């Protein structure tokens, strides 16, 4: 099986001045994940590595760069899933750690549970020796500005929530195993303790070797209502291509509950798709040693992996 990785940096509205950073961030993440796969690594390792790269990138609403809740704090959600065994690990409303996706993987591998939240997740992180990061370290100037703006009496937080920036990755490795990973800081100015789709299996992501893997982004409550990730895999089980399955599910979410979003998909044959109903979604994929990436509908750049790695070393 030829390995494939697809990543997204969130669906929504990406402001002009942020486009280049978002594009570079998804390309870097896809290349890192692909390097893991090329060296014989598992799909699980590849999606974790790709998502970790985006959590560390302040352009995205995950890890460092996460949006703030109503109290001005970062609370993050993440999920990872193994398509071979259907094992999954997730964390929700976690604070003060740099890489929630790493903690989600530890939940999957070191506990009998699938989801740990808030204080319990914090205790587990301590027990696993995950270093604590001061909350301030995860907050960017942009997130703080947006939070302040949303506190103004005539502000409309809904407007700002269109620029969502959840991150995710899906992959298939040389053994034909699939995996997904998704991580987010959630919605700006959300209520304390609000958990969206990301940490919910079947909504924020799903992976099953029998059909494929998907990671979602967009309006969390809408995604949960239609259980978007599992819906896409259901369509593929009925014989749809990744692209048609993604478009059909996104269209259903839009018509049924008025929700917009984006998805990345890989099926068990290694065919992939990156589709969205929002204005934009940053995405990148590597297959057959070729890198594809874009942000706008219909936009698709192609480079060889060697060329992409060379320009990555030169600073993109």
Give catalytic residues, as residue numbers: 166
Residue 219, annotated as binding a ligand:
yes
d(CA 291, CA 42): 19
Token pair, residue 29, equals 């993440």
Rounded CA separation 74/189 (Å) = 10
The annotation status of 239 as a binding-site residue, yes or no, is no
Q: Is 195 annotated as belonging to a binding site? A: yes
Sheet holding 272-276: strands in order across? 205-208, 212-218, 261-267, 272-276
Q: Strands 88-94 and 115-117, how do they pair?
A: parallel
Neighbours of 25 (CB within 10 A): 26
Closest CA to 185 of 90, 75, 262: 75
Residue 220 assigned ligand-binding role: yes
Q: Where are the beta strands (DSSP E) in the chain?
A: 4-12, 76-82, 88-94, 115-117, 167-172, 178-184, 205-208, 212-218, 261-267, 272-276, 280-287, 290-296, 301-304
* Residue 122 among known ligand-binding residues: no
Is 212 marked as binding a ligand?
Answer: no
Q: Report the SS3 class of residue 15.
A: coil
Annotated binding site: 194-197, 217-220
Annotated binding site for substrate: 194-197, 217-220
């Amino acid at each position: 099986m030829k390995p494939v990785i697809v990543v997204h940096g969130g669906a929504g509205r990406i402001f002009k001045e942020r486009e280049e950073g978002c594009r570079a961030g998804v390309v870097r993440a896809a290349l890192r994940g692909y390097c893991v796969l090329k060296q014989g690594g598992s799909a699980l390792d590849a999606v974790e590595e790709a998502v970790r790269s985006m959590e560390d990138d302040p352009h995205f609403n995950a890890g460092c760069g996460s949006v703030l809740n109503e109290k001005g704090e970062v609370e993050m959600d993440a999920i990872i899933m193994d398509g071979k065994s259907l094992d999954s690990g997730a964390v929700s409303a976690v604070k003060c750690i740099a890489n929630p996706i790493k903690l989600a993987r530890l939940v999957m591998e070191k506990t009998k549970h699938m989801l740990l939240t808030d204080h319990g997740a914090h205790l587990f992180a301590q027990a696993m020796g995950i270093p604590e990061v001061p909350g301030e370290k995860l907050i960017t100037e942009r997130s703080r500005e947006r939070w302040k703006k949303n506190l103004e009496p005539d502000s409309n937080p809904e407007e700002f929530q269109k620029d969502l920036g959840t991150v995710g990755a899906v992959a298939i490795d040389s053994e034909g195993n699939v995996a997904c990973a998704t991580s987010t800081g959630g919605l700006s100015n959300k209520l304390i303790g609000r958990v969206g789709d990301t940490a919910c299996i079947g909504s924020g992501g799903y992976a099953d070797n029998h059909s494929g893997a998907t990671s979602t982004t967009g309006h969390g409550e809408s995604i949960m209502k239609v259980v978007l990730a599992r819906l896409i895999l259901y369509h593929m089980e009925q014989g749809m291509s990744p692209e048609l399955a993604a478009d059909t599910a996104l269209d259903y979410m839009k018509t049924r509950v008025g929700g917009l979003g984006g998805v990345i998909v890989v099926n068990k044959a290694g065919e992939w798709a990156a589709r969205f109903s929002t204005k934009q979604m940053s995405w990148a994929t590597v297959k057959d040693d070729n890198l594809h990436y874009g942000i706008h509908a219909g936009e698709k750049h192609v480079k060889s992996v060697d060329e992409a790695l060379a320009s990555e070393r030169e600073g993109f």
